[in-house]
Structure 1
Amino acid sequence: MMKYLEKLAQFICRHMTLWVVLCSAIAFFYPAPFKPIGKYISYLLGIIMLGMGLTMSLEDFRLVLTRPKDVFYGVFFRYLIMPLVGFGVAKMLGLPPALAAGMVLLGACPSGTGSNVLTFIAKGDTALSVTVSSVNTILAPVLTPYIFLLLAGSMIPIDAGALLLDIVWIVLIPVASGVVLNMLAPRLVAKLTKVVPAVSVVFIIAIMSSVVALNASKMATMALVLGLAVMLHNSAGLLLGYYSGKMVGMSDKKSRAITFEIGMENSGLTVALALAHLDPMAALPGAVMTVWEYLSGSMLASYWGNKPTPDAEITLVNEPV
């Protein structure tokens, strides 16, 4: 039975982008069945974050002590570049206040859960990616609300305290619970983590479909500008992520990890926070980003994965024969 579940989980995860696009399209044309999901988004995201916590351990934070400079740069660039890019794109395109706030919130949230997988595919420094993701997530309750308040406070009314509390409930507590469960029952968790990613994918699809359904009429009128905003935001994140790593002297493997830590957004969290605290329109950038970032990210990861890193080439040249 477990083998069939594992195969099903692999099938669901392998074709995630297809499911997201397909279900979002159905929700756009037939929104009614998907709208009721909206009220449960924060709970669904909490389960996704619990799943993320189950895959983490205290070992994931070891690099904070052994390679503090690399981790610092990853976290610093994440929370510096993406909020400013979101703000800049919103101003450049003259987006309406709710949509502009959604772009800033997208940038102010921590890195996306897919960054680690894409770093692995791209032959990047996966250990660095995992650690930076973990630290970004732990810091999110403090950094996300106040960066968002600083940049978007003039665009839309914001209760930073309520935002912080929501991130604690949706992100910090589920992730910490997952880590504790992993420590207390590692064998059980090892079995669960084979199907947990598929559960997360199903819930992500449900969240995105709900947001599309709730905003179908608005999406129809601003699809072009919304798509352009998200593509600019993501492309700038990936580009600046890679070259910011290079700028501070990181190797190519490390720079690839930083690329995905900065370019991949936790769009599910963006959607949940926007629906809970802002106008529903503010959730649209997160919904569209879920589709786009996996398309662009997987293409870049595949490109890098099919060619050796310069670091590997140097190793091969210096290797004794």
Structure 2
Amino acid sequence: MIMLKSISNIAGKYIAVWVLIATIFSLFLPEVGSKLVSTSWVSYILGVIMFGMGLTVRTSDFKELLIRPKLVIIGIISQFAIMPLIAFILVKAFNLPLALAIGVVLVGTCPGGTSSNVITYLSKGDVALSVAITSCTTLLAPFMTPFLTHLIIGQSIDVDVLGMFLGIVKVVIIPILAGILFHKFVPKVTEFLQDILPFISTAGIVAIVIAVVSKSAGAIIANLGVIVIVVICHNLFGYLLGFFVGKAVTKEISKVKTLSIEVGMQNSGLASALAVAHFSAYPLAAVPGALFSVWHNISGGILASIYARMK
């Protein structure tokens, strides 16, 4: 059991490395990658990851909403305002083709990523605030993500708002609620599962990346430069604007760091899953989410090392 936990911790600690390896592997051996993981599995894999998130959620995580509603609400508004706005600007600035535009917008309109909680901890930020914002934006995602996606790209393509709503409920909300109930009624099994959650989450993200990148390897290589630039800009400007919002509303540096990280890090796995499920006519739409998964884990680690030294 101790060895299993150690392996799981190593998997979680070096998630950026595993995801990067998976991306390179899928780009150069797409036929093998496609056989290993089908894109039809992406939603189910994300559901497993979200179930794992549910196992870690406590009702106490939401007490921050009651204790410090101002900062939690500011975090939620910033998440659903800043990242979609940056996505819109990047789509226009780089004149992205429709498939890539869909993918970038989906990354922008998705809720915060669960890895933001880990990065906040490593940054010596306010973990309780981070968890509260991530949980709230995730629960609001079925409403906000379809609405914002339609608002930004609805003029260019028909966005199935109801379908996206139901899809997010199915792959995010139901698994999370199942995880919460599982934790309540089967605590001993939950305790064991929590020890291997880093491995499960890492394996899930790696599998999603392999599925998405393998399917569009040729198109990714042809557009790699612009995709990478856009993904990096999206993430870094999210950190930067989130930091400025934090500085504007609080003097506590731990909370400023938290708001910066919460805004900049997205549930990019959900973005890829939504692209696969609802924009299948545009396979390249799933790619920005997959590459965002690679990059934000790398940038998050670098940012944490900088923020940890910030007094």
User: What TM-score bracket applies, with the shorter chain setting the length?
Assistant: over 0.9
Q: Aligned-pair distance for 1:216?
A: 0.4
Whole-angstrom distance in 1 between the partners of 2:38 and 2:140: 28
8 A Cα contact 1:124 1:256, kept in partner: yes
Whole-angstrom distance in 1 between the partners of 2:251 and 2:296: 24
Whole-angstrom distance in 2 between the partners of 1:4 and 1:252: 37
> SS in structure 1 opposite 2:41?
helix
Aligned to 2:283: 280
Q: Structure 1, unaligned stretches of length 5 or more?
A: 310-321
Whole-angstrom distance in 2 between the partners of 1:127 and 1:187: 24
> SS in structure 2 opposite 1:162?
helix
> SS in structure 1 opposite 2:32?
coil
Moved more, 31-40 or 71-80: 31-40
| 1:26-81 Cα deviation digits (max 9, x unpaired) | 11111112224211110000000000010111111111111111110010100000
Whole-angstrom distance in 2 between the partners of 1:197 and 1:228: 29
8 A Cα contact 1:57 1:182, kept in partner: no
Read off the aligned partner of 2:284 and give its amino acid letter: M
Q: Aligned-pair distance for 1:10?
A: 1.3
Provide the TM-score with structure 2 as the length reference. Answer: 0.96
Bigger Rg over Cα? 1
Q: Aligned-pair distance for 1:12?
A: 1.2
Whole-angstrom distance in 2 between the partners of 1:255 and 1:152: 31
**2:25 paired with 1:26:** yes
> SS in structure 1 opposite 2:157?
coil
Structural RMSD (CA)? 1.0
Q: Structure 2, unaligned stretches of length 5 or more?
A: none
Aligned to 2:301: 298
Whole-angstrom distance in 1 between the partners of 2:193 and 2:211: 27
Aligned to 1:264: 265
| 1:123-171 Cα deviation digits (max 9, x unpaired) | 0001000000000101001111001101111222211100000000000
> SS in structure 2 opposite 1:95?
coil
| 1:9-28 Cα deviation digits (max 9, x unpaired) | 11211221111111211111
8 A Cα contact 2:250 2:256, kept in partner: no
> SS in structure 2 opposite 1:32?
helix
Whole-angstrom distance in 2 between the partners of 1:249 and 1:8: 39
8 A Cα contact 1:125 1:257, kept in partner: yes
Whole-angstrom distance in 1 between the partners of 2:104 and 2:22: 23
**2:243 paired with 1:246:** no
Whole-angstrom distance in 1 between the partners of 2:79 and 2:90: 16
| 1:209-264 Cα deviation digits (max 9, x unpaired) | 11110010101111001111111101100000111111123521111111111100
**2:16 paired with 1:13:** no
Q: Aligned-pair distance for 1:188?
A: 2.5
Aligned to 1:60: 61
> SS in structure 1 opposite 2:83?
helix
Q: Aligned-pair distance for 1:186?
A: 2.6
**2:86 paired with 1:85:** yes
Written as runs of structure 1 = structure 2, the 5 A alignment for 1:163-178 is 163-178=164-179
Fraction of identical pairs, as percent: 39
4+ runs of 1 displaced by more than 3 Å?
Answer: none
Read off the aligned partner of 1:288 and give its amino acid letter: L
Q: Aligned-pair distance for 1:308?
A: 4.8
